[in-house]
Structure 1
Amino acid sequence: MSNMALPKLKLIFTLFFLQAFLTSPTSIQAAPANSDLFREYIGAEFNNVKFSDVPINPNVEFHFLLSFAIDYDPSGSSPTNGKFNVFWDSDNLSPSQVSSIKNQHSNVKVALSLGGDSVNSGSAYFKPSSIDSWVSNAVSSLTSIIQQYNLDGIDIDYEHFSADPATFSECIGKLITTLKNNGVISFASIAPFDDDQVQSHYLALWKSYGHLIDYVNFQFYAYDQGTTVSQFINYFKTQSSNYNGGKVLASFISDGSGGLSPENGFFTACHRLKSEQQLHGIFVWSADDSKKIGFRYEKQSQALLATPH
């Protein structure tokens, strides 16, 4: 090879690497391999469940998700444009009980979930008056609740919308951005499910702000009851593609009313995902329902996550 050819080769290599760098997705990184994250919603059903009732394996990362904080007036009758109130069982899940469970278990973090399906027997709607006013109210009211309760993160679980996807995306995206930038929260998650209206809102949020969302609590239990292992794996892969680069968690509902239940192969599916390095964690709806069956599936989930391989 002549010396004349070397600069030309160098230029080709430089252009190749530059092109590869420019075309790679920079906003959302590839999700890492298996995780030991276990998350559980708690407090929505007011059946006196306490943090201390739930078995906590020391070898997992454990998140409690208080359900729910909602931007409705305390009676639950009308929306308040981002001024959030506590709608979980705060008698049993109080600030002192949050501090106590975190002091007893160094692997526990506690977050709150926003919205949920219903309030005062009606649907809980996401209904901002404007983006800026909603964000301002939400940052203020949630910062106050999060600091009062010594919480670590937020989860977004709105399921009904009186605003278009772009408005939802900007409101929630700016809320997460501000709370993270202010050091109020260390993580944020979203809880979509397979419904056209729901997905249109969350996918708009993901497209613009996915790099700020740490976990996707996809509600796989919203699929039909009697889901098979192979169907579950297909659903998981579809949603992992939708929320590309995200840590999509596997999930079940403790009362077995939807999706793939623990009795019908949920843990088989999780083992399979784990063998493919795709098990980013497990979450459960909910501790309130699991109480009456002795939290047996919480124990099984955490044992699976705590096992190295």
Structure 2
Amino acid sequence: MHSSKLTISLLLLLLHNFIIFSNLSTIQAAPQKLFREYIGAENNNVKFSDVPINPTVDFHFILSFAIDYTNTSTPHPTNGDFRVYWDSNNLNPSQVSAIKAKHSNVKVSMSLAGDTINNKSVYFNPTSINTWVANAINSITQILKNYNLDGIDIDYEHFSSNPDTFAECIGKLLFYLKQNQIVSFTSIAPYEDDSIQPYYLALWRKYGHLIDYVNFQFYAYAKGTTVSQFLEYFDEQSSNYYGGNILVSFGTDGSGGLKPKNGFFKACSILSKQGKLHGIFIWSADDSKKANFKYEKQSQDFLASQ
């Protein structure tokens, strides 16, 4: 008799937990209204205030870039001593404070490295893990505090080290920044290339729990990408970065991938219905200026409607 009652109680408990977890799954699958945009890399005199901001979405500006290279006419690596290379005339600490004060839904982060400096590739080139991490923590913390920034993005695209060294350096940096509450969110910006992915996948395997968003550069795929191809690419990268918030993206420059005019928002709608849309980001505000930021407005309007 007691065992019978115990069985019924266990079944009721399991049913209760199933209902709770089912509801949690539904909540977690809901599309996130997150819009992110890189800004300041091309010195096109773009200001935060130039970009339209929908008050009903979460909006992240990503300052591009802080680079661990010297500020000389022929820059070279500094082993983790980062300096500001974005357009600091138009995107300075007072302007960061002003845009955040005006829009409560806006946060501002910074991205590390990028592709080139003075038309030469920016390399991840540490002397050792410990010295790079120590220098990076010191220099990056100073920039984050000086600019009152909320997060950090990792966008190294060239490497003079192995994937494990990259994973350890970046992982230890992210751990310190999060552990000490210097940043509230982090992201990485990989793309599909055999010289890129092994580094980010090594980082993800060991330190993925510290990474909030994967700003996957879908615009690095070939021009003329179709909706069906885009969805295949998304599923592939969701598998690579399993459990991550993979953001969809397009470029407003001359890059490839799936463009808005060719069905980008159709693909977003499909992902949204599947509970897979974690947000949209654009490269970049500097390039969007010439079209008066129409795709920034369209992207945010789409997110707001979901």
**What residue number does 1:82 align with?**
80
Deviation beyond 4 Å, 4+ runs, structure 1: none
User: Partner of 2:52: helix, strand, or coil?
Assistant: coil
Of 47, 55, 58, 1:50 maps to: 47
Quote the Cα distance in structure 2 between the aligned partners of 1:202 and 1:130: 19
Distance apart, 1:265 and its partner CA: 0.7
- 1:116 — aligned with what? 114
Q: Deviations over 1:195-239 (max 9, x none)?
A: 012100000000000011000000000000100000000000000
SS at match of 1:197: coil
**Which residue pairs with 2:19 in the alignment?**
none
The residue that corresponds to 2:281 in the other structure is 283
Instruction: Tell me whether 1:306 sits opposite 2:304 in the alignment.
Output: yes
The aligned counterpart of 1:295 is 293
Amino acid at match of 2:30: A
Partner residue in 1 for 2:238: 240
Alignment of 1:144-155 (within 5 A): 144-155=142-153
**Which consecutive residues of structure 2, in runs of 5 or more, have no partner in the other structure?**
15-26
Secondary structure of residue in 1 paired with 2:108 = strand
**Counterpart in 2 of 1:25?**
none
Report the Cα distance in structure 1 between the residues aligned to 2:98 and 2:112, rounded to whole angstroms.
23
Q: Give the superposition deviation at 1:34.
A: 1.0
Q: TM-score, normalised by structure 1?
A: 0.90
**Residues in 2 aligned to 1:202 and 1:273: alpha-carbon distance in whole angstroms:** 24
Q: 1:262 to 1:2 in 2, by over 3 A?
A: closer
Counterparts of 1:153-172 in structure 2 under 5 Å? 153-172=151-170
Q: Is the 8 A contact 1:115 1:157 kept in 2?
A: yes
Structure-2 residue corresponding to 1:177: 175
Structure 2 CA distance for partners of 1:181 and 1:221, relative to 1, 3 Å = same
Q: State the partner residue of 2:218.
A: 220
Map of 1:143 onto structure 2: 141
Structure 1 equivalent of residue 228 of structure 2: 230
1:97 and 2:63 equivalent?
A: no
1:107 corresponds to 2:105: yes
Provide TM-score, normalisation by structure 2: 0.91
Q: Name the SS of the counterpart of 1:252 in structure 2.
A: strand
Q: 1:67 aligns with which of 64, 88, 98?
A: 64
Amino acid at match of 2:44: N
Equivalenced residue count is 289
Structure 1 unaligned regions, length at least 5: 18-29
Work out the CA distance in 2 between the residues paired with 1:78 and 1:32.
Answer: 45
Deviation at 1:31, TM superposition (A): 6.6
Secondary structure of 2:79's partner?
A: coil
Q: CA deviation at 1:255?
A: 2.4
Distance 2:5 2:159 in 1: 61
8 Å contact kept, 1:38–1:61: yes
Question: What is the CA-CA distance between 1:74 and the residue it aligns to?
Answer: 1.1
Give the match for residue 186 of structure 2: 188
1:9-41 Cα distance to aligned partner (Å, 9 max, x none): 9xxx9xxx9xxxxxxxxxxxx974310000000
- Structure 1 residue 279 displacement after superposition: 0.5
d(CA) in 2 for partners of 1:159, 1:6: 61
SS of equivalent to 1:185:
coil
C-alpha separation in 1, matches of 2:119 and 2:191: 21
CA distance in 2, matches of 1:256, 1:44: 15
- State the AA in 2 paired with 1:304: F
Cα distance in structure 1, aligned partners of 2:128 and 2:210: 22
Q: Percent identity?
A: 65
- Alpha-carbon deviation of 1:285? 0.1
Aligned equivalents of 1:219 and 1:31: distance in 2? 24
